[in-house]
Amino acid sequence: MSLTLHFHPLSSFCWKVLIALYDTDVSFTPNPVDLGNPGEREAFLKLWPIGKFPVLVDAARGETVPESSIIIEYLDRHYPGRTHLIPTDPDLALRTRLCDRLYDLYVHMPMQQIVGDRLRPHDKKDPLGVEAARARIRSAYAMLDQRTGPYAMGEAFTLADCSALPALFYANNVEPIGADRSNISSYLERLKVRPSVVRVLREAEPYLGMFPKEG
């Protein structure tokens, strides 16, 4: 197989790429990496010195591709599958990329800030930073709840939906969406029953106990 994905099953940004791979039915070799294993960590850092998941290696084209959005763009361009994740219409493609950024920057990243704070020693906590992150997520919820349709960009499943699922799934655990955001809540439930998402969640289930609890 030409493609190898280096990832961790609990990583939210890895979920984003796995959803894309499963939804397009593109063949790849999964390589789960344990950064707590010195040998695996060293090998991964040689591959991508930044040390962040996920990373796609394309042996056939001699390419190493980091960053979840870029990986999905790369797959859509060079390995198109049964689902076309970037719309062919240029304006719709631009809006799709914007929606991807909205989920990553204003839901996904502040969620990770809150989770990261849970891992800090008690004397290193950042309550002001956490509250700012919660406020950013709530603002994003309010904006995103105005969108309607079965998927983020309407009728078609796209890059934006690959971004939305991990962002909303994890954010809902740290800053609940709430009953007043019915569009987002119903959207998340629709995503959770899509076969590619079901598969990702099933594969992550053994690791979900590692998700840091509040306290």
Q: Is the pLDDT of residue 215 over 70?
A: no
Separation of alpha carbons 119 and 64, rounded Å: 31
Ranges of each domain in the chain: 3-78, 90-194
Helix, strand, or coil here: 174?
helix
Q: What is the pLDDT of residues 56-102, one digit of tens each?
A: 999 999 999 999 999 999 999 999 999 999 999 999 999 999 999 99
Strands 29-32 and 55-58: unpaired
CB proximity list for 133: less than 8 A, separation 6 or greater: 110, 111, 113, 114
Rg (CA), the chain: 17
CATH 1.20.1050.10 given to domain 90-194: yes
Helix, strand, or coil here: 36?
coil
The domain 3-78 belongs to what CATH superfamily?
Answer: Glutaredoxin (3.40.30.10)
Q: What is the pLDDT of residues 193-202, one digit of tens each?
A: 999 999 999 9
Residue type, 124: K
Q: What is the pTM of this model?
A: 0.94
